[in-house]
Amino acid sequence: MDIRTRVLSTDEIQAVVKLLCELLLEHDVTKVKTSFGLGCDLDIDEMWQDTEIEVNDIYEYMALNEKKGILKVGESDFFIEADLCQIKVCHESDVHFTSNKTLVETVYEDWQSKGYKPYQVKPRKLAT
């Protein structure tokens, strides 16, 4: 299942990332793969290249790459992937979360309570 937030401020995006990192740690996920995408100040060959980092370091990793000018939260895509879930900090100033139904429902309720107005995205059907 896939859910997304409404358009968020930079501070709200950072708060969502922090909460999702806490969720990962609660589920014993300590390492994730991260990558940069659309909107990042990198050569195309450097985008979508996985870098494994500790969950505890994600927030600081994002901040460091913002200082370097590589990432601009809310204007660049930043991906966080684990076996448990996928998180996309989107260039459209929202956050995408994909996981199993139970975990998505938990995150949905949390986002709803915080006013992030989550909504579910249905998978696209491919043309035949």
Ranges of each domain in the chain: 2-121
Per-residue confidence in pLDDT tens, the chain, 128 aa: 999 999 999 999 999 999 999 999 999 999 999 999 999 999 999 999 999 999 999 989 999 999 999 999 999 999 999 999 999 999 999 999 999 999 999 999 999 999 999 999 987 766 66
pLDDT confidence of residue 122 = 82
Closest C-alpha among 3, 37, 10, 2 to residue 93: 10
Interior angle at CA 33, CA 14 and CA 40, nearest 5: 60
pLDDT confidence of residue 127 = 65
Element of type H or E holding 66: helix 58-67
Token pair in block for residue 80: 């966080």
